[in-house]
Amino acid sequence: MSSVADEVKRRRTFAIISHPDAGKSTMTEALALHARMISEAGAIHGKAGRKSTVSDWMEMEKARGISVSSTALQFNYTPAGWSDDDEPAVINLVDTPGHADFSEDTYRVLTAVDAAVMLIDAAKGLEPQTLKLFQVCRHRGIPVITVINKWDRPGQTPLELIDEISERIGLTPTPLYFPVGIAGDFRGLLDRRTGRYIHFTRTAGGAKIAPEEIMDAEAAAAREGDEWVAASEESALLTEMGQDHDQELFLAGETSPMIFSSAMLNFGVRQLLETLVELAPAPAGRTDLDGTVREPTDPFSAVVFKVQAGMDASHRDRLAYMRIVSGEFERGMVVTHAQTGKPFATKYAQAVFGRDRSTVDTAYPGDVVGLVNATALAPGDTLFNDPRVQFPPIPSFAPEHFSSLRATTADKYKQFRKGMDQLDSEGVVQVLRNDLRGDASPVLAAVGPMQFEVVTARLKSEFNVDTVIDPLGYTLARRTDAESADELNRQRGVEVFTRTDGALLALFSDKWRLQYIEKEHPDLTLEPLVATA
Ligand code: GDP
What would the pLDDT profile of 349-383 be if each residue is shown by its tens digit? 654 444 433 345 789 999 998 887 788 899 999 99
How far CA 263 is from CA of 113, 134, 156, 206, in Å, comes to 22, 21, 17, 9
In a domain, 389, yes or no: no
Residue 127 Cα, ligand 1 centroid: separation in angstroms?
A: 15
Atom of ligand 1 nearest to the CA of 263: 23
The preferred substitution site among 264, 265, 266 for testing ligand 1, maximizing ligand atoms within 8 Å of CB, is 264
CA–CA dist 324, 370 (Å, integer)? 11
Amino acid at 435: D
Protein residue closest via CA to atom 24 of ligand 1: 150
Give 304-319 pLDDT, tens digit per residue: 999 887 655 555 567 8
Whether the per-residue pLDDT at 533 is higher than 60: the answer is no
Residue 264 Cα, ligand 1 centroid: separation in angstroms?
A: 7
Residue 26 Cα, ligand 1 centroid: separation in angstroms?
A: 6
Task: Indicate if 134 and 242 belong to the same structural domain.
Answer: yes
Task: Indicate if 318 and 415 belong to the same structural domain.
Answer: no
Strand, helix or coil for residue 211: coil
Among 246, 261, 279, which residue terminates a domain? Answer: 279
Give 261-293 pLDDT, tens digit per residue: 999 999 999 999 999 999 999 999 999 999 999
In a domain, 335, yes or no: yes
Ligand 1 interacting residues, C-beta cut-off 6 A: 18, 20-26, 44-45, 149-150, 152-153, 262-264
Task: Indicate if 269 and 376 belong to the same structural domain.
Answer: no
Neighbours of 503 (CB within 10 A): 18
Atom of ligand 1 nearest to the CA of 18: 3
Task: Indicate if 466 and 379 belong to the same structural domain.
Answer: no
Protein residue closest via CA to atom 2 of ligand 1: 21
Among 279, 295, 322, which residue terminates a domain? Answer: 279
Q: Which domain holds residue 253?
A: 4-45+73-279
Q: Across the chain, what does the average pLDDT equal?
A: 89
Whole-prediction pTM: 0.91
Give 2-51 pLDDT, tens digit per residue: 699 999 999 999 999 999 999 998 999 999 899 887 777 764 444 333 33
In a domain, 32, yes or no: yes
Task: Indicate if 252 and 342 belong to the same structural domain.
Answer: no
Task: Indicate if 482 and 524 belong to the same structural domain.
Answer: yes
pLDDT at 350: 52
| CATH code for the domain in which residue 418 is found | 3.30.70.3280
In a domain, 231, yes or no: yes
In a domain, 56, yes or no: no
Residue 504 Cα, ligand 1 centroid: separation in angstroms?
A: 41
Annotated binding site for GTP: 95-99
Atom of ligand 1 nearest to the CA of 26: 7
Atom of ligand 1 nearest to the CA of 29: 7
Asked whether 320 and 374 are in contact (CB, 8 A), the reply is yes
Residue 137 Cα, ligand 1 centroid: separation in angstroms?
A: 23
Model confidence at 531, pLDDT cuts 50, 70, 90, reads low
pLDDT at 55: 41
Among 245, 279, 313, which residue terminates a domain? Answer: 279
In a domain, 169, yes or no: yes
Residues 6 or more apart whose CB falls under 8 angstroms from that of 133 comprise: 17, 18, 96, 106, 107, 110, 116, 118
Task: Indicate if 156 and 34 belong to the same structural domain.
Answer: yes
Task: Indicate if 492 and 516 belong to the same structural domain.
Answer: yes
| CATH code for the domain in which residue 298 is found | 2.40.30.10
pLDDT at 312: 53
Whether the per-residue pLDDT at 467 is higher than 80: the answer is yes
In a domain, 193, yes or no: yes
Residue 182 Cα, ligand 1 centroid: separation in angstroms?
A: 19
Whether the per-residue pLDDT at 66 is higher than 80: the answer is no
Q: Using alpha carbons only, give the angle 523, 524, 527 rounded to the nearest 5 degrees.
A: 120
Q: Is the ipTM of this complex over 0.90?
A: yes
Q: Is pLDDT larger for residue 397 or for residue 56?
A: 397
List the beta strands (DSSP E) in 56-207.
Answer: 72-77, 89-94, 115-121, 144-149, 172-175, 177-180, 188-191, 196-200
Number of domains composing the chain = 3
Task: Indicate if 456 and 419 belong to the same structural domain.
Answer: yes
The preferred substitution site among 19, 21, 73, 186 for testing ligand 1, maximizing ligand atoms within 8 Å of CB, is 21
Residues 6 or more apart whose CB falls under 8 angstroms from that of 446 comprise: 103, 104, 399, 400, 401, 402, 403, 429, 430, 452
Task: Indicate if 358 and 425 belong to the same structural domain.
Answer: no
User: Across residues 160-176, what is the average pLDDT?
Assistant: 98
Task: Indicate if 113 and 242 belong to the same structural domain.
Answer: yes
Task: Indicate if 265 and 290 belong to the same structural domain.
Answer: no
Give 183-219 pLDDT, tens digit per residue: 999 999 999 999 999 999 999 888 889 999 999 999 9
Amino acid at 112: A
User: Across residues 404-424, what is the average pLDDT?
Assistant: 92
